[in-house]
Structure 1
Amino acid sequence: MTVLANGRERAGEDAAAQRDALSVERLSLAVGHGDAAVPLLADVTVRVGRGETVGLVGESGSGKSLTARSALGLLPRGARATGRVEVAGVDVLAADRRTLRELRRTRASMVFQDPRAALNPVRRIGDYLTEGLRARGTPARDAAARALDLLDRVGIRDPAGALRRYPHEFSGGMLQRVVIAGALSTEPDLLLADEPTTALDVTTQAEVIGLLRRMQRAHGTGMLFVTHDLDLAAAICDRVYVMYAGRVMEESAGASLFTAPAHPYTRGLLEAGPSVRGEKAAIRPIRGRPRALAEAPGGCSFRDRCPLAGDDCAEAVPAYRTHGASVVACLRPERVAP
């Protein structure tokens, strides 16, 4: 009997180790009802394996942050969701409040884009950093020591003094470091990083990215990295999802993002930014303006801005197909030159 029980326990541990940190399958999201319903996401599928860094890129309003927030059940009020969102084995869309609270406290953490809005202005930094640890049963002294170590590692000067200060006493960049330290404090299975280095200088950005990667190697943490910086995404991400108008347009290996884009939108994003490799290439912005899903044209959402669009692009949403190292929703990926 003991052998059988131990065998089952080991089997459970093996299954948990193989489970993805995040699995989003055909997630669609809308607010409102009937004719007044406003679609926000459509058939979004994203996967983050344990120890893997996955990028989520695209223009503002493409649905990146909303996709990341769905992993914690942080959906707009009155939102209706279909599909499946699973974090470390927890069905987020079906979970009750208690389960979601436990998930956010122990299994998944998020670095929000606006750190000042993520912190309670009337609570000290030390309270913020130790709350999750103490809720897990960590003694107060050990939690404080852990908080001091994390503040030092993210580049906060005088960590002991920082624990006694309030958020309004920090600059935006310093608060971003505090939020990153808080996200790392519980060693989560999944880290959702929404523009985590935007407010940091280049040197500190490199240090923070290095810290995140070391944590991943040590604890097998999966990271969903939301960013507008395609160079950064290509450099640190194992895979990259490109989003536009609430849909995933392309999934690519990180190294292939620059060398072989398979969607006209991905190529447009690359051409709209300056080269960091010393090449003298003209910056060519994508024509038109970004579309939300609710105002996107029928068929391919990108067709009114796409230089390769034809009449057939209006007939239906393109099915995903494999092209080179990418999975892409486009009828003409072979015409997207590298």
Structure 2
Amino acid sequence: MITRRRRGPFVAVLAAATALALGACTSSSDIENTAASASAGPSALVVDTSPDQDRIHTPKNQAAIDLLPPGVVDDGVLKVATSAYSAPLAFYADDNATVIGSDPDTAQLIADALGLKLEIVPTAWENWPLATQSGDVDVTISNVTVTEERKQLFDFSSYRVDTLGFLAAADSTIRIKKPEDVAGLRIAVGSGTNQEKILLEWDKENQAKGLEPVDVQYYQNDSDTTLALQSGRIDLTFGPNATAAYKAATKPDDFTVVGQFNGGWPDTAEIAVATAKGNGLAPAITEALNGAIADGSYEKVLKRWGLTSESIEKSETNPPGLKTS
């Protein structure tokens, strides 16, 4: 049983369940096998949700600075688009004005390494592509998965493994370790998402084997989905692991994560920093990230937000992306 410790009005308790302590998984099979075998008890992290963030920093990285293309970031400020919609990735602090989370913290590391000041630009998810292409922002750091289609318009620097998670009510006995385990369940998933594609593929394969179909359900927003889960109208939600695990950790009496899979199942997908195609920023950002990985500041950021299970060993420029067709 995970218990919550109270530390004041500006502190949220993040009890990192086993699902958050799986280590650095780099493939779908790694995630599934580690999740299935993990037996360590839960630990607890205390997450500061006040606007006065004491962010983790990294020193200037001259190798990264030398890779900065002339004329692209020439005002000394790195403008970063992020969508403040989902804890712990990016969300508003207790003042409802300051954007905090793992993505802003990652942006800070990149700005530090490049010797630039950081400006976070809250951007609606649907607007980040235009903002990045137009130059309104220099980069987007907003849990963007690398796809081959997106690589036609953007360059990428990877910084996390794309992991999906199944969220259930705290008292649920359901465990999802393989595609067959979803048969016959009522599962909410976002329309048009990669997790929907995966779930529908599993359901098709399961029905071909004679298993019960999945009752796939769609809701207008996250609050409706959460209410459906709490009321027992659905068995599971299937979405980004980071948000599912955060809910389970901050409300352990209500929720638990019962399965994890790579977002590119059965292949590996990665989350990356997006920059406008061909503007030359990506190599510098990749070098900045690798410097932060080497000095340990990158791992500190992920640990701060309970995302160490999604860490990578090395950032890559334009890694293989998901095929969307």
Q: What TM-score do you get using the length of structure 2 for normalisation?
A: 0.28
Q: Considering only CA atoms, is the larger Rg found in Structure 1 or Structure 2?
A: 1
Q: What TM-score do you get using the length of structure 1 for normalisation?
A: 0.27
Larger helix percent: 1
Higher relative contact order (CA 8 A, sep 6+): 2
